[in-house]
Amino acid sequence: MSVLLDVNSLEVYYGGIHALHGVSLRIHEGEIVSIIGANGAGKSTLLRTIAGDKEAKSGTISFQGERLPNASHAVVSRGISLVPEGRRIFSNLTVKENLKVGAYSRKDGKDSIAEDFEEVLELFPRLRERIHQMSGTLSGGEQQMLAVGRALMARPRLLLLDEPSLGLAPIIIDELFEKIQQLNRLRNQAILIVEQNAFLALEVSKRVYVLKTGQIVREGLACDLADDPSIQQEYLGLA
Amino acid sequence: MNLFLQQLVIGLSIGSVYALLAVGYALITSIFNFTNFGYGAVMMCGAFAAYFAVVKLGFPTLIGLVFAIIFAVFISLITELVAYRPLRKRKSPRLYLMITAMGFNIFLLNLAVVLLGANVRYLPSTFSTDSIHMGSIVVSALDVYSLFASLISLAVLWVFLYLSKQGLAIRSAAHDTDTAGLMGINVNKVSLIVFAISGITAGIAGTFMGMKYTVYPNLGDIANKAFIASVIGGMGSLPGAVLGGFILGVIETMVSGYISSALRDLFSFGIMILVLIFLPNGIVGKKVQDKL
């Protein structure tokens, strides 16, 4: 499997705080990878740095063998889409317009955009029912589906999900993660998930990185880490 | 009744120019969260460009309007590139942007006084200047022209914002610039479009205000009225800016007609204060709320 994303000794400062200390990670084609860690471990900072929204002090991020540009709008056209924490949908726009904004950077023509539009609505049928509604009127779960759909409209090679379960009811979370796995199975979509809920993360991903105060302290296959007593104690709350 | 109708038409005409200018404020406020107080000077530059084209070069008014728009867009883009963008790049607080805008306004105004003199200049109109009789009321042709020019500009702007791809980009950036960036929208490109649009509105308004009130360096003070209009309507809201512009224009002419034109500005600012007390977000302004 070829390497899609290669992050190498990343150092990032957030305000005055040294948020990431030499973080390195790799994601291969078609993989679901999770980063777990407590609040303030630097998970979101890591995703935002990959997405070009934050600047790294040093270290490199390469995608498909090329260095990524240092501006979020340019990273999107290289094939990385971020679903930001807290969804951040454009509540002043309709559901349809939100999805259209997602395809803003694409240059491959109306037909293939229309195709993906259909595909997103098939994946999230609830969005089709609400297609002309202002997106601010959607429920939290529907807004998260819209945020994922909007990111997919850019047809990313790599999808970044920042705390997708945040603030959602358990039944909605199950549905959402079902869709995420479906995406990976059907489209071979590479996905990097940052998640506080370690149970979820270990369940859906193939590999997991553990981030603690800005450093990767563990990495491995999800099935191995799930059986590890120290991980169970610290992140799964099991004695 | 005749007086009322006559004042109403004049009020709508002035209101439409306020609306156009207020939209120029609101667009920038909605995206960059600061009030572009340099806008009045941009409008004044447009008016001088029209004066130059019509009086010095002898072009008809329509060509003067084109000159005004081009020059106002040029000045507007210069302010963005030279003054505002470097500040945004350093993530300066928006108060700094506002102060910079005021400084820019003072600079341009005084530059105009030094280079061109503070005296007023008559900007003639090559449009028909006859009065127009509508039933029993008589209004000046200029008022009717400026009403139509403003309404057409607002309609074109609406079509651009709601039906074009760049319009969609502007509306999403207005909601959340960071997330718009994550969608592949280059906010610096959006800023150029927005400052160009605000330059166009300033050029159109500058030409008509110049023909109505003559051309002089302080002409840009009229833009303060448009700022009041955008506060009344709701800062950063385009429908609010249009509504606020028309409300202010009609109230001003009614006060001038029925009470006294000396009290006109007292009413304008008084209304703004009332709106700020009872509707702090303006009539249709977006509510400030916590976002998850």
Per-residue pLDDT of chain A (239 residues; tens, 9 = 90+): 789 999 999 999 988 899 999 999 999 999 999 999 988 889 999 999 999 999 999 999 999 999 999 999 999 999 999 999 999 999 999 999 999 999 999 999 999 999 999 999 999 999 999 999 999 999 999 999 999 999 999 999 999 999 999 989 999 999 999 999 999 999 999 999 999 889 899 999 999 999 999 999 999 999 999 888 888 888 887 75
Nearest CA in chain A to B177: A90
**A51 and chain B: CB distance < 8 Å anywhere?**
yes
Give buried/exposed letters for A22-41 (b at 16+ CB in 10 A, else e).
ebebebeebbbbbbbbeeeb
- Helix or strand holding residue B31 (H, E): helix B2-32
Residue B93 per-residue DSSP state: -
CA distance A116 to A130: 17
Interface of B with A in 120-149 (CB under 8 A): none
Contacts of B84 (CB under 8 A, 6+ apart): B32, B97, B100, B101, B191
Residues in A touching B291 (Cβ below 8 Å): 86, 88
Q: What is the pLDDT of residue B1?
A: 76
In angstroms, the separation between the Cα of residue B88 and the nearest Cα of chain A is: 15
**A219 contacts A213 by C-beta, under 8 angstroms:** no
Interface of B with A in 173-192 (CB under 8 A): 174-176, 178-187
- Rounded to 5°, angle at Cα B100 from B99 and B103: 90
In angstroms, the separation between the Cα of residue B17 and the nearest Cα of chain A is: 26
Strand partners, B138: B133
> What's the residue count for chain A?
239
Size of interface A-B (CB pairs under 8 A): 74
In angstroms, the separation between the Cα of residue A141 and the nearest Cα of chain B is: 13
Q: What is the pLDDT of residue B94?
A: 87
Residues in B touching A70 (Cβ below 8 Å): none
- Helix or strand holding residue A195 (H, E): strand A190-195
Contact A101 B168 (CB under 8 A): yes
Strand partners, B164: none
- Helix or strand holding residue A160 (H, E): strand A158-162
In angstroms, the separation between the Cα of residue A229 and the nearest Cα of chain B is: 34
Q: What is the pLDDT of residue A32?
A: 97
Q: What is the pLDDT of residue B198?
A: 97
Nearest CA in chain A to B237: A92
Please spell the DSSP secondary structure of A143-194, one letter per residue. HHHHHHHHHHTT--SEEEEESTTTT--HHHHHHHHHHHHHHHHHH--EEEEE
Interface of A with B in 140-169 (CB under 8 A): 150, 154, 166-167
Q: What is the pLDDT of residue B291?
A: 33
A45 torsion bin: left (phi>0), alpha (psi -120 to 50), beta (else)? alpha
Q: What is the pLDDT of residue B286?
A: 65
User: Residue B217: how many CA atoms within 13 Å on its side-chain side?
Assistant: 15
B181: nearest CB among A53, A97, A150: A53
B184: nearest CB among A88, A97, A104: A104
Rounded (10°) angle between helices B39-51 and B187-213: 60
Nearest CA in chain A to B292: A86
> What's the residue count for chain B?
292
CA distances from A126 to A112, A167, B15 (A): 22, 19, 44
Nearest CA in chain A to B290: A86
Helix residue ranges per DSSP H, B94-217 = 94-116, 141-163, 165-175, 177-182, 187-213
Q: What is the pLDDT of residue A239?
A: 59
CA distance B183 to B91: 21
Q: Which CATH class is domain B2-278?
A: mainly alpha
Show pLDDT as tens, one digit a residue, over chain B (292 residues): 788 988 999 999 999 999 999 999 999 999 998 999 999 999 999 999 999 999 999 999 999 999 999 999 999 999 999 999 999 988 889 899 999 999 999 999 999 999 999 999 999 887 777 788 878 888 888 999 999 999 999 999 999 999 999 999 999 999 999 999 999 999 999 999 999 999 999 999 999 999 999 999 999 999 999 999 999 999 888 999 999 999 999 999 999 999 999 999 999 999 999 999 999 889 887 654 433 3
Residues in B touching A144 (Cβ below 8 Å): none
ipTM associated with this complex: 0.91
Q: What is the pLDDT of residue B290?
A: 37
Q: In what order do the strands lie in the sheet with A58-63?
A: A17-28, A3-14, A58-63, A66-67
B99 torsion bin: left (phi>0), alpha (psi -120 to 50), beta (else)? alpha
Cα-Cα-Cα-Cα dihedral sign, residues A201, A206, A211, A214: negative
Q: What is the bridge-based pairing of β-strands A3-14 and A17-28?
A: antiparallel
A104: nearest CB among B174, B178, B183: B183
Quote the distance between the C-alpha of residue A165 and its chain's center: 11
| Cα dihedral: B285, B286, B290, B292 (round 10) | -170
**A139 and chain B: CB distance < 8 Å anywhere?**
no
Strands (E) across A32-147 are located at 32-36, 58-63, 66-67, 80-83
CA distance B244 to B225: 10
Residues in A touching B284 (Cβ below 8 Å): none
**B255 contacts B247 by C-beta, under 8 angstroms:** no
- Rounded to 5°, angle at Cα B15 from B13 and B20: 100
